[in-house]
Structure 1
């Protein structure tokens, strides 16, 4: 089956993209509201995009057709945000912060989240998050109704229990028990099962071809 995106409605494109690009990591983003309170919201149109400098990108939509979501408005105004990774333990709390609460209701309070100071940005972290990144706004790229928030990573944090070798920057990735988004409104996946497949060097490939000859 073939699908011409120019002929599809946005929701139809969304269904295909989210069903096929899986799993997607979840950016659990904290930002500062104008009154100084903390906003928390998850986004699955997210990934890291480079390491020199460290760069990540989050796609943040609108409330309705025009008004930017609080996360986008807060980042534009303050220039800083924190991206937390989501563990299985925090899945329900993360899901609660995705609720469209009325103005004045704190997602942080509803989800029972404890906050902690960040190291280099004014936006607090979610204290129980296993790992995350403190970011400053690099730029915002708007393509149609997509708003791509590009952040430069200033600081990374990982809970000590998940560090295998600090000097070599080795993390116990499986132990983080992170979750990702799948298809549908409520589809998630675990990252407990990992398989190893070493990259094949050109010399190894040549040797294999010689054995087949």
Structure 2
């Protein structure tokens, strides 16, 4: 059954483990969705009854194969729409998330596939997140969080979290985007494409992933 609320839960669970391995807990899920824990507990029970998640009391919440397939489908919609808005309408990468949140629940499958074809079947969205294909599969290179990179090491920017639009704007102002090469000089300071040094905005090292 189509339900934006269910899709938002599944998408949040999917996103939580996309760039790290620890499964999401009900309290983390409540915080991410900005809902009361009791509300989340009730919905998780409904999702479990529908075979979309597995969950034990007080334990983490994991997607079942059916839940993962449905989550990948809505993630595909969201990320294709973000890419479409940036490429075709000139949106900045910090502006597309909220628009995509609305449109992902309204456009038809036919329009979605037309957008995909129009864009040349992109593999990644403007933030570097992998776009699942029609079967739910993703192609993602090995990665490391910038905060975990040692001084003197680095690599190309693989992904930037879209959680905080202010961080996205600050990184854009600093000339940092997906594909640029960063080398860690010291805590919070990087060398950009082997040239100038850039002092990163607060929280940026926890929002940027590099290719290994």
TM-score (norm 1): 0.28
- Bigger radius of gyration: 1
Q: Which has the higher helix share?
A: 2
TM-score (norm 2): 0.28
More contact order relative to length (CA 8 Å, sep ≥ 6): 1
